Amino acid sequence: MTTLNSRIPEGPIADKWTNYKNNIRLVNPANKRSIDVIVVGTGLAGGSAAATLAELGYNVKAFCYQDSPRRAHSIAAQGGINAAKNYQGDGDSTYRLFYDTVKGGDYRSREANVHRLAEVSTNIIDQCVAQGVPFARDYGGLLDNRSFGGVQVSRTFYAKGQTGQQLLLGCYSAMSRQIGKGKIQMYNRHEMLDVVVVDGKARGIIARNLVNGEIERHSAHAVVIASGGYGNVFFLSTNAMGSNVSAGWKVHKRGAHFANPCFTQIHPTCIPQHGDQQSKLTLMSESLRNDGRIWVPAKKEDAEAIRAGKMSPLDIAEEDRDYYLERRYPSFGNLVPRDVASRAAKERCDAGFGVGTNETGEAVYLDFSSAIMRYGQEEANVKGYHNQSESQIRALGEKVVENKYGNLFQMYEKITADNPYKVPMKIYPAVHYTMGGVWVDYNLMTTIPGCYAIGEANFSDHGANRLGASALMQGLADGYFVLPYTIGDYLADDIRTGAIPTDTPEFDEAEKSVKDRIDFFLNNKGSKSVDHFHKRLGKVMWNKVGMARNEKGLKEAIAEIKEIREEFWKEVTVPGTNDSMNPELEKAGRVADFLELGELFARDALEREESCGGHYREEHSTEEGEAVRDDENFTHASVWEYKGEPSDAVLHKEELIYENIELKTRSYK
């Protein structure tokens, strides 16, 4: 049994990272040239890591399943990235960002990691601006900020609603520079299908060339997993279609422990599902909550009339609207954190006040009319217009709102064919982000020596709930500023190792297991498609392991997922061959892994007898539906060791010690 050593450095929290950096071993530039590092994934985490490791002098081999690193899922992030710059002078500081993140994560993250994240956050902005990332600016030419759910300062940097795109393109351009120099070997359209462990250390991967189906062996002195999150275990989520758990799951099966699989974030502001032909859900950035007010009708009969198409939201008088977030949480109002906002929406819809046109009525309104009128009036005052009519003021206000959120409004209109300037948006929570992931120590190393996990693929920084705009921050912090230090300390032992051969028994074995699986899929002439199973898994996950969970449902889910898995291995059919591009084959492998992860996910949720952050057990809640945490018994990360079937996984606990922030009930009232 492996023991968990989180390797948190000694000393006061504010000095840990500095002291640590001062004491680690360094690899001199000449030696770096003889060391190879594999980076799986080229999103913000993997892309920034690959660029920086190459910059430092290592030979980097980077892999992604898309046709270019520029298309990684990070590209879709909308709202922004946090940094404790305090440019607005509203009282922000490293400590406050640290505090908000720990509290926002419901005290289930690791203090030392979060503090380091807050410390390096300011560097990220400097770095990105130097690379030419066009962040929003104010009229004085300085950087602009906005605020995001769960905090009371404006610390979020943004580039309209396309922040992830701009950050990723920055990162991709840094990679391009190293690719041009020959320091990064880029393997586009390649999927990692296994990790190779030699003498207990990660020494390479098996990858499949997705264009011609060739199985390739790649060796290195260290392997970095930056493969993103696994929210697609729910089938419907805001994640890109190809996002998957496979890389993380493969290292888990080879000895890397997997932590807190059940911590999933449900995002409150997504476009509701339109019907069963749906393939994915679309997020509306939560920055919209800065100006949009969330409500449902106060009277059930109004909600029913809306659902039946007999009434429009515009017919509901102000006093007949229930601005339930403002009512329940007066100090944060519409800006409560995501888990709180999501549950509150579900509660109203379950109680019959939802306004969705689907059978369950699943939608609430996100209304911009007061913001439009407020901004319109401000504009009129600034421009010195007097005696404007209501419609003139509205037009001025719409312009202001368009400047702030234009592309989001446009996206909404394209998908729903409704005009959100005139009629309130309909929104509903959807699966968005996974806080769980591969367990890592302070060095970001997994329980397999030489195997690292960064970005959304690891578990450490967000606890049970992620505050807005902090995933991008973590991805870039890990890749640009943390891993490049910590990995050096490990690689210092490898300066004399020389190139790692790929003709060893360990590579043979890993390659064989990959090939056997592919052969199985192509030869198993079953009767059902891969998506058939994925959709079934997704339904079980959403209904029983989703926004609210209870013991009975979780036990049923575990049994049902097992059944689906068994049937999958009997009945799945994968057309086509292995010598050319075969997207169905790619999906089959990913869904096979989701079917295992799904069960572990449900087990983890069952074991955690408390409600915290994105994890809500109905048995542990107050009369008013607020989550009840159990710090005495659950101030730990649940860390699972692979032993074959998910039901055999062994649970380890990493105690989480709060020395700097007092554990308090998290309240946004």
Partner 1 sequence: MSAQKGLNLTLKVWRQKNNKDKGQMETYQVADISTDSSFLEMMDILNEQLIAEGKEPVAFDHDCREGICGSCSMYINGEAHGPGREITTCQLHMREFKDGDTIYIEPWRAKAFPVIKDLVVDRSAFDRVMAAGGFISVNTSGNTQDANSIPIEKADADKAFDAATCIGCGACVASCKNASAMLFVSAKVSQFALLPQGQVEAKERVQNMVKVMDEEGFGNCSNTGACEVECPKGISLENIARMNREYLSASVTSDK
Ligand X SMILES: Cc1cc2nc3c(=O)[nH]c(=O)nc-3n(C[C@H](O)[C@H](O)[C@H](O)COP(=O)(O)OP(=O)(O)OC[C@H]3O[C@@H](n4cnc5c(N)ncnc54)[C@H](O)[C@@H]3O)c2cc1C
Q: Residue holding tokens 């000449």?
A: 30
Nearer to partner 1, 209 or 370 (CB): 209
Nearer to partner 1, 457 or 530 (CB): 530
DSSP string, 294-341: EEEESSHHHHHHHHTTS--GGGS-GGGEE-HHHHH-TTTGGGS-HHHH
Residues 279-298 that bind ligand X (CB under 6 A): 283
Indicate which single residue of 17, 65, 329, 533 sits in contact with ligand X (rule: CB under 6 A). Answer: 65
- 43 binds, options partner 1, ligand X, none, Cβ within 5 to 8 A by partner type: ligand X
Indicate which single residue of 102, 251, 457, 597 sits in contact with ligand X (rule: CB under 6 A). Answer: 457
Residues 189-248 that bind ligand X (CB under 6 A): 191-192, 226-229, 238-239, 243-244, 246-247
Nearer to ligand X, 119 or 456 (CB): 456
Query: Could you say whether residue 163 binds ligand X (CB under 6 A)?
Result: yes
Rg over CA atoms, the chain: 25
Three-state DSSP class for 223?
A: strand
Q: Residue holding tokens 């099966």?
A: 253
State the minimum distance, in angstroms, from the CB of residue 311 to ligand X: 31
- 63 binds, options ligand X, partner 1, none, Cβ within 5 to 8 A by partner type: ligand X
State the minimum distance, in angstroms, from the CB of residue 288 to partner 1: 15
Residues 529-588 that bind ligand X (CB under 6 A): none
Query: Could you say whether residue 433 binds ligand X (CB under 6 A)?
Result: yes
Number of residues this chain uses to bind ligand X (CB under 6 A): 45
Indicate which single residue of 51, 64, 482, 554 sits in contact with ligand X (rule: CB under 6 A). Answer: 64
State the minimum distance, in angstroms, from the CB of residue 53 to partner 1: 9
- Structure tokens belonging to residue 491: 């690689």
- Per the annotation, the verdict on 338 as an active-site residue is yes
Nearer to partner 1, 77 or 600 (CB): 77
Query: Could you say whether residue 79 binds ligand X (CB under 6 A)?
Result: yes
Q: Report the distance separating Cα 116 and Cα 564, nearest Å.
A: 42
Q: Residue 621: name the closest of 548, 553, 544 by CA.
A: 548
- 471 binds, options ligand X, partner 1, none, Cβ within 5 to 8 A by partner type: ligand X
- 369 binds, options partner 1, ligand X, none, Cβ within 5 to 8 A by partner type: none
Q: Which residues pair with 196 in a beta bridge?
A: 204
Query: Could you say whether residue 455 binds ligand X (CB under 6 A)?
Result: yes
H, E, C per residue of 267-291: EEEECCCCCCCCCCCCECCHHHHHC
- Structure tokens belonging to residue 622: 């107050």
Are the CB atoms for 77 and 163 separated by under 8 Å? yes
Q: Is the dihedral of CA 174, 488, 455, 511 positive or negative?
A: positive
Side by side, which strands form the sheet with 222-225? 184-187, 59-63, 36-40, 222-225, 451-453
Nearer to ligand X, 67 or 566 (CB): 67
338: Cβ contacts below 8 Å, ≥ 6 apart? 149, 150, 265, 266, 267, 268, 286, 432, 465, 466, 467, 468, 614
DSSP string, 531-597: HHHHHHHHHHHHHHHSSSB-HHHHHHHHHHHHHHHHHHHHHB---S-SSS--HHHHHHHHHHHHHHH
State the minimum distance, in angstroms, from the CB of residue 73 to ligand X: 3
Query: Could you say whether residue 43 binds ligand X (CB under 6 A)?
Result: yes
Q: Is the dihedral of CA 298, 304, 307, 313 positive or negative?
A: negative
Indicate which single residue of 51, 60, 72, 600 sits in contact with ligand X (rule: CB under 6 A). Answer: 72
The one catalytic residue among 338, 343, 466, 608? 338
Nearer to ligand X, 148 or 507 (CB): 148
Q: Residue holding tokens 């300011």?
A: 122
Query: Could you say whether residue 165 binds ligand X (CB under 6 A)?
Result: no
Nearer to ligand X, 77 or 522 (CB): 77
- Choices 41-49, 102-110, 515-523, 593-601 (CB under 6 A): range interacting with ligand X: 41-49
Q: Is 22 exposed, middle or buried (0-12, 13-18, 19+ CB in 10 A)?
A: exposed
- Distances in Å between the Cα of 291 and the Cα atoms of 149, 313, 446 are 12, 18, 41
Phi/psi region, residue 376 (left: phi>0; alpha: psi -120 to 50; beta: rest), is alpha
What single-letter amino acid sits at 527? S
Residues 466-525 that bind ligand X (CB under 6 A): 469-472, 475
Give the per-residue contact string, 107-126, with ligand X (x = CB under 6 A; - = no): --------------------
State the minimum distance, in angstroms, from the CB of residue 496 to ligand X: 30
Residues 615-644 that bind ligand X (CB under 6 A): none
Indicate which single residue of 149, 164, 170, 337 sits in contact with ligand X (rule: CB under 6 A). Answer: 164
Nearer to partner 1, 344 or 401 (CB): 401
- 361 binds, options ligand X, partner 1, none, Cβ within 5 to 8 A by partner type: none
Query: Could you say whether residue 268 binds ligand X (CB under 6 A)?
Result: no
Side by side, which strands form the sheet with 258-259? 437-438, 258-259, 636-641, 650-655
Buried b (16+ CB within 10 A) or exposed e, 594-621: bbbbbbbbbbbbbebebbbbbbbbeebe
Q: Which residues are tagged catalytic? A: 338
Q: Where along the sequence are the contacts to ligand X (CB under 6 A)? A: 40-46, 63-66, 72-74, 76-81, 163-164, 191-192, 226-229, 238-239, 243-244, 246-247, 283, 432-433, 455-457, 469-472, 475
